[in-house]
Amino acid sequence: MLKKMTVAVPVAMVWTNPDSPRPMDGPVLKNPADIRAWLGCMTLDDKLDLCLANRVQTQVLYGASVLVTEESDGWSKVLVSLQGTRKDPLGYPGWVPSCQLVEAVEAPVDSQRAVVIADKTWLFKDSTLSEPLIELSYLTSLPWLKQSGDVVSVQTPTGMGYVKADDVRLRDDVGDGSGNGNGNVFQAPQAGVKHIGQAIVEQGQRFLGLPYLWGGMSSYGFDCSGFAYSMHKYFGIIIPRDASDQAKQGTLVEKEALEPGDLLFFAYDEGKGAIHHVGIYAGNNQMLHSPETIKSIELIDMSTMKLAKEHCVSRRYWK
């Protein structure tokens, strides 16, 4: 079984297996899902448990395509096509409640996409923008139908919707997770960007203070590799999902040649063990990263951080 489906909630949690969710996870197991309520009800220990108990694998955004390989008791085993991983060549694996998926609708031929560039924005029912339907995360990508003044009409998983033109940007084709694209999946969002690496850093600085979330791939919370992945994706650069895979691709960069936007990787046993963290080099011996559950996205001095002795390799994906 291999069936293409589309995510129909703002952010779908991709669980390790159907038994992974706890009673408190109810708000993000439904359709409509309420990620704000879910985040608001969890204690720090509850958030730590997402990692320690290996409950969550990743997230996938509204309108993205996934491949369903199995269905069982209201759950769908999925592969997230645009999130590269050594776990499966077809995409990142995990389980999603079947109620959060709908049959994929083909986008118009040669369609472009409206990609959310605001931190968050609302999808509205009609062009008057008077009836909000769903709050969309940064980097949500939907087929662009047309623009009328300050309103853009888009194709959603369940029909036509409308968004504020200022909160989205028109991109060429494919950043929907359909698996059609390799490498750059949409055009860089800003003409005349002279240093993409520096622009990646500046984009990431928008999220300073955003709390870490294990498995996070949205502007409701990122984990370390999800943050690196998303800041690159803004500029049309698709990198692997996990830090351990990110560290094996891209261009190797020696310490003395680091430039803003390069990725820094950290491993246990003072850099000799398994890779467990990634950050974005910000220049001037500083690093921008989403550190751990008890903290938020921060900019730190590399010489004083506790991870200093664990830096093992650096990679560059921008050019």
Q: What superfamily in CATH does domain 3-103 come from?
A: SH3 Domains (2.30.30.40)
> Which of 102-111, 122-131, 179-188, 219-228 is predicted least confidently?
179-188
- Residue 224 known to be catalytic: yes
Three-class DSSP labels, the chain:
CCEEEEECCCEEEEECCCCCCCHHHHHHCCCCCCHHHHHHHCCHHHHHHHHHCCCEEEEEECCCEEEEEEEECCEEEEEECCCCCCCCCCCEEEEEEHHHEEECCCCCCCCEEEEECCCEEEEECCCCCCCEEEEEECCCEEEEEEEECCEEEEEECCEEEEEEHHHEEEEECCCCCCCCCCCCCCCCCCCCCCCHHHHHHHHHHCCCCCECCCCCEECCEECHHHHHHHHHHCCCCCCCCCHHHHCCCCEECCHHHCCCCCEEEEEHHHHCCCEEEEEEEEECCEEEECCCCCCECEEEECCCCCCHHHEEEEEECCC
Q: Of 232, 289, 311, 312, which is the active-site residue?
A: 289
d(CA 242, CA 239): 9
pLDDT in tens, 236-287: 999 999 999 999 999 999 999 999 999 999 999 999 999 999 999 999 999 9
Q: Is 99 a catalytic residue?
A: no
pLDDT band of 107, cuts 50, 70, 90? confident
pLDDT higher than threshold 70 for residue 183: no
pLDDT at site 173:
53
Q: Letter for the amino acid at 268?
A: Y
The one catalytic residue among 232, 277, 311, 312:
277
Which residue ranges make up each domain of the chain? 3-103, 112-172, 196-316
Check if 277 is active-site.
yes
What pLDDT is recorded for position 193? Answer: 73
Q: Which token pair is 85?
A: 């991983």
CA 103 to chain centre: 22
Higher per-residue confidence, 120 vs 1: 120
pTM of the model: 0.94
Tell me which of 224, 232, 311, 312 is the catalytic residue.
224
In whole angstroms, what is the distance from residue 199 CA to residue 193 CA? 7
Before 32, cis peptide (omega within 30)? yes
Please give the CATH topology (third level) of the domain spanning 112-172: SH3 type barrels. (2.30.30)
Q: Write down the mean pLDDT value for the chain.
A: 93
Q: Kindly tell me if the per-residue pLDDT of 208 is higher than 90.
A: yes
Backbone φ and ψ of 196, nearest 5°: -60, -40
Taking only the tens place, the pLDDT of each residue in 132-179 is 999 999 999 999 999 999 999 999 999 999 999 999 999 875 444 433
Domains 112-172 and 196-316 share a fold: no
Strand partners for 231: none
- Give the lowest-confidence range in 28-32, 187-191, 225-229: 187-191
Domain spanning 196-316 has what CATH number?
3.90.1720.10
Selection from 87, 63, 70, 77 nearest residue 8 by Cα:
63
